[in-house]
Structure 1
Amino acid sequence: MTISLAAVLTTAIGAGTLTASANTSTTEQIKTTAAATTEQTKATTAAGAETTTTATDAKDQTTAGSQTPAANSNTDKTTTASTTTNTNTTTNTTPATTAPVTTTPATTAPSSTAADQLTLEKAIQQALETNATLVTARLDAKNADLNQMLSYKTSAEMPADMIESLSAAKAKYVGNAQLEMTTKLNAMQVTATEGKIKLGAQQAYYNLIFAQDDLELKKQSLTRAQTQLKVAKAAFQVGTKAKTDVLQAEMGVAGAQASLTSAQNAVEVARMDLNDFLGVDLTKSWKVVSSNKQTAPIKMTMQQAEDQALAKRIELTKVQEELKLAELNVKLIEEYSALSSMQGRVARNNVEKSKMAIEEQKRSITKEVSQAYLNLNAAREAIDYQKTAKDSAAESYRLTNLRFENGLATTLEVIQAEEELSNRENQYQKAILQYNLAVVNFETALGS
């Protein structure tokens, strides 16, 4: 999909080497050309215009020879010196006006880090462009529209005064309505799939952020364990602590190292999951720009949220369209046949089924929105609780260290306090993750 930076740099260096070699040959050519030009100027003083042209050509060659890549600094110095001498000779010999010498600035290759930055918005956009499920849904919708057009085009063009039977009426009116509804529902299905893709992209994005944050926490935990080990060894060497304190500290370092390795693996898995969902190379690396949702309380009430969802959710629109089609069937049967017939009774039953489907869909949407609303409030409050617990664990770890330094606590107690702090830090980060996901789910439930 993109040209790697290594390939670009390799090409640039290769080109620079060729240019430097060419400049050495060009310098010798310039000397010869400049000497020939001087002799020609003396012999053809009367032909000033011709001399001017020759000098200008020599000047152009000199200018071309002066442009060398920055990567070949030694060659640049030699070539530039020779070129300067030749330029002066040509200028003095030919007093005619020449174009000013210009140097083309070196082009800086774009930074791959900047290109690989991933924000929440970019993750969503990438998924909407390359997610395989969404691309397939769009193609399926196009194929369905084409098939519907081919099936109903002839019937829809039938004049109304030629319709004399129920089957002909259905072929024209129901077929027409079916075509319009199918086209509309196909577009709605693509929109619904886009909503799911947006949801999935955000979930994968936040999972990667959580994995990276957790990795940083595990690094901090390992640093604390290593510091404790140094303290325990120093105390053991001066005879103030027993060998068991050193052994316990070593176990603490080993546990922290194992947790770090697990966190590193989790980052790689989360990155691959994100790449897979986005539809890009599984090995692609990202510099993720963290973007947390605002933790302000929800401004709308639950009833307002339910009303908004009922007005925007595509699922409800779908069953409403199906009701319209069922009612059209009843109308045609009533006009061209009899509602008391078998077809009439079936058509009326289908209308009732469609009405029940609408009520069922409303109930399902209302339940989903209510749950998302409650989960969001709970997730927001959990952040405050976990932050308090994390701060308390940090203070407990600090005090335990002080007690250890004064001989009032063992290494095991310090290790336990550190593990508690590490766990609380992890729970706080997880609370932030759960809140971000709760916001995403709530927005999806609203039909956003």
Structure 2
Amino acid sequence: MKKKLQLLSAILLISSIAYTQASTTLTIDEAIKIAVEKNFDVEIERNAQQIGAINNNWGTAGLLPTISATSTIGIASNNLEQRLSNGTTIKRNGALLRNLNAGFAVSWRVFDGMRMFATKRRLEELEKIGELSFRSQVNTTVFNVIAAYYQIVQLNQQKKALQATIKFFEERKQIAESRFTIGTAPKTDFLQAEVDLNQQKGNLLTIENSIRIAKADFNNLLARKPETVFEVLDVIEPDAGLTFAGLVTKSESDNYDLLLAQSNLSVLVQQKREIIAQRLPSVTLNGNFNLSQSRNDAGFTLFNRNLGPSGNIGIAVPIFQGGNIKRQEQVADINIKNQQVIIDRLKNQVYTNLLNAYSNFQNALNLVKLEKSTLSLIEENNMISTERFRKLAITSLELRQVQIDYINGQTRYINSLYMAKLAEAEMKLLAGDLNKL
């Protein structure tokens, strides 16, 4: 009965461990979702986007009227002495004078050369820029998450490959040690085998440390505590169905650097319209409703009250402003011209980067096929060479070279997979397609 309980406890413990491991496995889609929601840079851009939306209104553009209310209450104490023409003398100490002034004022600029409409369009473009900046940051963050995630996958695969390789080195060491013990091989073979084994163990420690660092950096991307424990799916599958023509078409319409540059051009155009509007007259409607009241304990006027509306139309006609408007127009024209050059430069740069990324992607895919084929040959050669070494058909030095080739082949294959995935992500980044995952 006791043994059954122990067995049941062991099964439950193993199940618990397996469940814990499964629950901490993070897929790339889950990681992207967390990053989009919590990444610090994304959050900053999200807040900046809200500022643009808040500022985009007719009040900021200057179309709406301004209404203000004012009120003042005053009191004064005076010593009064008056001598009238009829000989009467009035003397009063501590006479109080009470004043009350209150009113509403309305000012509405109804025409400013259409400047307010140009300003509103500029604010709309600025809001659009905020939205594009946010989406661009999401796009960049997703790329960084993909690169970091598959770097961990790459390191994990290298770790597994190295662990398998260490077993071959251990077997070689055991054979060399046995031969040295019975006197059929020199001690140098055994020592070299042990040195090579320790070197690979050192490489394993280095990779394990690199994994820890990569995971901490990855957690930072997800705005999590760096010590958060998780595992990744150790699979790298590049999307071989991507076409260069499709990516180019998408980049022309969705690349965020281009979209931002085009929106900045629109802002400059609206700014020029605002400048031109300063040449035209402006019309302002002003209205007031005022109350003025005073009470005096002494003097000719003991009580006075004025109550009623007033209004006027103000017209301002710019005649000469020292040539400032013309200068501002000239500067605006140059800024627009420069921005168009920037857009052309960006188009060329995006196309160049996309071409290079696609070339790297195709090269990496070819390397994956080649290295996979080469690796199968290397694995077979390693098995044959190990068996021949057991039978004294080859030297320890020859087996060492075969094992080094095995390590290098594994590394090249894993790296080619990672480079293919990285080039794929870079192409989608340039095409503005990553934030749609």
Residue 421 of structure 2 corresponds to residue 430 of structure 1: no
For 2:18 and 2:231, the matched residues in 1 are separated by: 15
For 1:157 and 1:215, the matched residues in 2 are separated by: 67
For 2:359 and 2:270, the matched residues in 1 are separated by: 41
**Map of 1:184 onto structure 2:** 128
**Map of 1:66 onto structure 2:** none
User: Contact 2:155–2:211 (CA<8 Å) still a contact in 1?
Assistant: yes
Q: What SS is found at the alignment partner of 1:305?
A: helix
User: Contact 1:379–1:435 (CA<8 Å) still a contact in 2?
Assistant: yes
For 1:109 and 1:259, the matched residues in 2 are separated by: 28
Distance of aligned partners of 1:126 and 1:110 in 2 relative to their CA distance in 1, 3 Å threshold: farther
For 1:365 and 1:439, the matched residues in 2 are separated by: 15
Shift of 1:438: 1.0
Residue 118 of structure 2 corresponds to residue 210 of structure 1: no
Residue 108 of structure 2 corresponds to residue 200 of structure 1: no
**Map of 2:405 onto structure 1:** 420
Give the aligned length: 337
Give TM-score scaled by structure 2 length.
Answer: 0.70
Distance of aligned partners of 1:349 and 1:158 in 2 relative to their CA distance in 1, 3 Å threshold: farther
Shift of 1:239: 3.3
Shift of 1:188: 0.9
**Map of 1:387 onto structure 2:** 372
For 1:125 and 1:371, the matched residues in 2 are separated by: 29
Alignment counterpart, residue 222 of structure 1, candidates 148, 166, 171: 166
Distance of aligned partners of 1:195 and 1:269 in 2 relative to their CA distance in 1, 3 Å threshold: same
**Map of 2:60 onto structure 1:** 153
**Map of 1:319 onto structure 2:** 261
For residues 385-424 of structure 1, give each alpha carbon's deviation from its aligned partner in whole angstroms, at most 9, with x where no partner exists.
2223323322332333233233232222212211221121
For residues 114-159 of structure 1, give each alpha carbon's deviation from its aligned partner in whole angstroms, at most 9, with x where no partner exists.
331111101111111221111122123223443x258953603269
User: Contact 1:203–1:437 (CA<8 Å) still a contact in 2?
Assistant: yes
For residues 255-280 of structure 1, give each alpha carbon's deviation from its aligned partner in whole angstroms, at most 9, with x where no partner exists.
22111211211211111121111111
For 2:163 and 2:51, the matched residues in 1 are separated by: 52
**Map of 1:443 onto structure 2:** 428
**Map of 1:361 onto structure 2:** 346
For residues 53-108 of structure 1, give each alpha carbon's deviation from its aligned partner in whole angstroms, at most 9, with x where no partner exists.
xxxxxxxxxxxxxxxxx99x9xxxxxxxxxxxxxxxxxxxxxxxxxxxxxxxxxx9
Distance of aligned partners of 1:128 and 1:331 in 2 relative to their CA distance in 1, 3 Å threshold: closer
Letter in 2 for 1:314: Y
Distance of aligned partners of 1:378 and 1:110 in 2 relative to their CA distance in 1, 3 Å threshold: closer
Alignment counterpart, residue 281 of structure 1, candidates 218, 225, 238: 225
**Map of 1:257 onto structure 2:** 201
**Map of 1:305 onto structure 2:** 247
For 1:125 and 1:199, the matched residues in 2 are separated by: 13
**Map of 2:301 onto structure 1:** none
User: Contact 1:117–1:287 (CA<8 Å) still a contact in 2?
Assistant: yes
For residues 157-185 of structure 1, give each alpha carbon's deviation from its aligned partner in whole angstroms, at most 9, with x where no partner exists.
269x955545xx43x12321222111111
**Map of 1:377 onto structure 2:** 362
Shift of 1:437: 0.9
Distance of aligned partners of 1:325 and 1:234 in 2 relative to their CA distance in 1, 3 Å threshold: closer
Letter in 1 for 2:186: A
Letter in 2 for 1:440: A
Shift of 1:295: 5.1
**The structure with more radius of gyration:** 2
Distance of aligned partners of 1:433 and 1:355 in 2 relative to their CA distance in 1, 3 Å threshold: same
Letter in 2 for 1:211: L
Residue 117 of structure 2 corresponds to residue 117 of structure 1: no
Alignment counterpart, residue 216 of structure 2, candidates 264, 267, 272: 272
**Map of 1:103 onto structure 2:** none
User: Contact 1:210–1:429 (CA<8 Å) still a contact in 2?
Assistant: yes
Residue 147 of structure 2 corresponds to residue 240 of structure 1: no
Give TM-score scaled by structure 1 length.
Answer: 0.68
Shift of 1:330: 4.4
Aligned counterparts, 1:163-182, within 5 A: 163-166=110-113, 169-170=114-115, 172-182=116-126
For residues 232-259 of structure 1, give each alpha carbon's deviation from its aligned partner in whole angstroms, at most 9, with x where no partner exists.
2223333332322222222222122111
Structure 1: 4+ residue segments shifted above 4 A? 149-152, 161-166, 329-336
Shift of 1:231: 1.5
For 2:161 and 2:210, the matched residues in 1 are separated by: 13
User: Contact 1:205–1:274 (CA<8 Å) still a contact in 2?
Assistant: yes
User: Contact 1:373–1:442 (CA<8 Å) still a contact in 2?
Assistant: yes
Letter in 1 for 2:40: A
Shift of 1:329: 4.3
Letter in 2 for 1:196: T
**Map of 1:293 onto structure 2:** 237
For 2:171 and 2:18, the matched residues in 1 are separated by: 41
For residues 167-218 of structure 1, give each alpha carbon's deviation from its aligned partner in whole angstroms, at most 9, with x where no partner exists.
xx43x12321222111111111110000011001111100111111111111
Between the two structures, name the one with larger relative contact order (CA 8 Å, sep ≥ 6). Answer: 2
**Map of 1:17 onto structure 2:** none
What fraction of aligned residue pairs are identical, expressed as a percent?
A: 18
User: More strand per residue: 1 or 2?
Assistant: 2
Structure 2: which 5+ residue stretches go unaligned?
9-15, 67-107, 281-322
Structure 1: which 5+ residue stretches go unaligned?
1-69, 74-107
**Map of 1:87 onto structure 2:** none
User: Contact 2:61–2:117 (CA<8 Å) still a contact in 1?
Assistant: no
Letter in 1 for 2:261: V
User: More helix per residue: 1 or 2?
Assistant: 1
Distance of aligned partners of 1:346 and 1:245 in 2 relative to their CA distance in 1, 3 Å threshold: closer
For 1:325 and 1:255, the matched residues in 2 are separated by: 61
For 1:263 and 1:320, the matched residues in 2 are separated by: 45
